[in-house]
């Protein structure tokens, strides 16, 4: 019988980082006075400049969300046919391919970082392959150098889904510098957010104009519409929230780093529970804290623990269950071999992580998790 009492308030997987409301009012007043609400106004311009510096990238374009940004990246790079990607990701990654009439070809993942297995990619290349879309899962960078070599050798474009990677660096280089384009999500659940929003970063200056056209109906000027673009603009209120949240990111990352080490300390000797190792030469952002529960060593399987935590008012998440290959509209190829992804998808559990959490709350979450061993 467990004697630990449930939390008397819900502990969510995350909570948004919220700027001071007075500062938000001040920004709103500025916007109201300008009477400029969207279509690349002053807030938008200011945020683009700040993010270029923060993310240490050459070029950057803002969008109303990360998913549309991804779709427009695919269009800007003119990807067609097949794109090799991972089955272990949020629906947005592969849905952006389906929505662009591209068939995702699923490559297995690696057990050490849950990212696409770079060594499996070349076997999946066909005459129809136009690109690779790897995901830096949970903010852990893929092996970008290896991917670059594969892409170059096979003349393929690379779009990184860097939705979880705000502020992540590899060898002191902003993660958004790798590949042809990287997509960052600025959704409310991310360490940096604009409520909804996203950005693409890239090194090719020519993409800037194409992306501007694609996100603004293809309008070149008052007399010319030169391509069938859509509306994917970030508005001024979103950009203003971004400018304010950006000042909070450093502290949020610091707090999450401390909280992560409390989790690791409390869970380090528990047989059957593993967490991902810190990668060498990577500046992490501590966006998520995933653990892997191995049923053969731990008392229970991941789903049991997930439900058990709920009884204590703790809302962990099974990101990314189900695998993309299991969606009812998924076009899984008959020879799709993804044993690691099939194994991991039943083991991963993301535990609550956000700066406001207290040491005692994390210790209690761990104690409840460990208490399953005594059932």
* Residues in region 63-92 near ligand T4K by CB under 6 A: 65-67, 89-90, 92
Residue from the set 154, 189, 266, 342 that interacts with ligand T4K by CB under 6 A: 189
CA atoms of 268 and 289, how far apart (whole Å): 14
Strands 273-275 and 289-293: what pairing? antiparallel
Q: Which residue is nearest to ligand T4K (CB)?
A: 66
In sequence order, the 6+-apart residues with CB closer than 8 A to the CB of 194 are 47, 186, 234, 238, 239, 241, 242, 245
Residue from the set 187, 215, 256, 302 that interacts with ligand T4K by CB under 6 A: 187
CA atoms of 135 and 287, how far apart (whole Å): 14
Nearer to ligand T4K, 135 or 293 (CB): 135
Residue from the set 55, 76, 135, 357 that interacts with ligand T4K by CB under 6 A: 135
198 is an interface residue for ligand T4K by CB under 6 A = yes
Residue from the set 124, 163, 181, 314 that interacts with ligand T4K by CB under 6 A: 163
Q: Scanning the structure block, which residue is given the tokens 């401390």? A: 258
Nearer to ligand T4K, 134 or 174 (CB): 134
Q: What is the DSSP letter of 59?
A: E
CA atoms of 282 and 174, how far apart (whole Å): 10
Q: How far is the CB of 195 from ligand T4K (least distance, A)?
A: 8
Q: How far is the CB of 279 from ligand T4K (least distance, A)?
A: 18
Residue from the set 24, 46, 125, 188 that interacts with ligand T4K by CB under 6 A: 188
Token representation of residue 339 = 């044993």
Torsion angle, alpha carbons of 55, 160, 341, 312, to 10: 40
| Residues 302-321 as x/- pattern, contact with ligand T4K by CB under 6 A | -------------x-x-x--
At 99 the three-state DSSP class reads coil
Select from 354, 299, 346 the least CA-distant residue to 2.
Answer: 299
- Exposure string over 295-304, b if 16+ CB within 10 A, otherwise e: eeebebebee
210 is an interface residue for ligand T4K by CB under 6 A = no
Which own/partner pairs from 277-280 qualify as long-range (CB within 8 Å, at least 24 positions apart)?
Answer: 277/112, 279/113, 279/140, 279/141
12 is an interface residue for ligand T4K by CB under 6 A = yes
Give the range of 186-194, 243-251, 264-272, 326-334 binding ligand T4K by CB under 6 A: 186-194
| Residues 25-64 as x/- pattern, contact with ligand T4K by CB under 6 A | ----------------------------------------
Torsion angle, alpha carbons of 245, 136, 143, 140, to 10: 60
Q: How far is the CB of 270 from ligand T4K (least distance, A)?
A: 25
- Count of residues near ligand T4K by CB under 6 A: 23
- Interface residues with ligand T4K (CB under 6 A) are 12-16, 65-67, 89-90, 92-93, 135, 161, 163, 185, 187-189, 198, 315, 317, 319
């Amino acid at each position: 019988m467990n004697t630990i009492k449930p939390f008397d308030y819900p502990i969510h997987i995350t909570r948004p980082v919220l700027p001071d409301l007075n500062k938000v009012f001040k920004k709103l007043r500025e916007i109201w006075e300008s009477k400029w609400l969207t279509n690349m106004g002053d807030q938008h311009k200011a945020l683009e400049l700040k993010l270029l510096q923060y993310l240490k990238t050459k070029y950057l374009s803002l969008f109303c969300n990360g998913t549309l940004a991804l779709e427009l990246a695919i269009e800007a790079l003119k990807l067609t046919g097949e794109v090799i990607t991972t089955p272990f990701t949020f629906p947005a990654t592969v849905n952006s391919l389906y929505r662009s009439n591209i068939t995702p070809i699923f490559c297995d993942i690696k057990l050490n970082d849950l990212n696409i297995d770079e060594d499996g990619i070349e076997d999946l290349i066909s005459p129809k392959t136009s690109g690779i879309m790897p995901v830096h899962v949970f903010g852990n960078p893929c092996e970008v150098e290896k991917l670059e070599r594969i892409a170059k050798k096979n003349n393929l474009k690379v779009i990184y889904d860097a939705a979880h990677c705000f502020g992540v660096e590899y060898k002191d280089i902003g993660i958004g510098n790798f590949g042809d384009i990287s997509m960052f999500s600025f959704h409310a659940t991310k360490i940096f957010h604009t409520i909804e929003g996203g950005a693409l970063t890239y090194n090719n200056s020519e993409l800037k104009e194409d992306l501007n056209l694609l996100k603004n109906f293809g309008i070149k000027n008052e007399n010319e519409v030169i391509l069938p673009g859509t509306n994917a603009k970030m508005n001024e209120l979103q950009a203003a929230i971004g400018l304010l949240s950006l000042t909070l990111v450093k502290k949020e990352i610091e707090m999450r780093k401390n909280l992560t080490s409390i989790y690791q300390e409390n869970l380090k000797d528990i047989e059957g529970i593993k967490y991902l190792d810190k990668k060498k030469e990577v500046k992490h952002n501590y966006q998520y804290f995933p653990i892997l529960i191995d049923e053969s060593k731990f008392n229970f399987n991941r789903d049991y623990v997930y439900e058990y935590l709920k009884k204590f008012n703790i809302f962990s998440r099974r990101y990314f269950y189900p695998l993309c290959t299991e969606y009812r509209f998924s076009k899984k190829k008959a020879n799709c071999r993804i044993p690691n992804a099939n194994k991991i998808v039943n083991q991963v559990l993301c535990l609550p992580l956000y700066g406001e959490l207290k040491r005692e709350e994390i210790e209690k979450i761990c104690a409840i998790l460990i208490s399953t061993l005594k059932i």
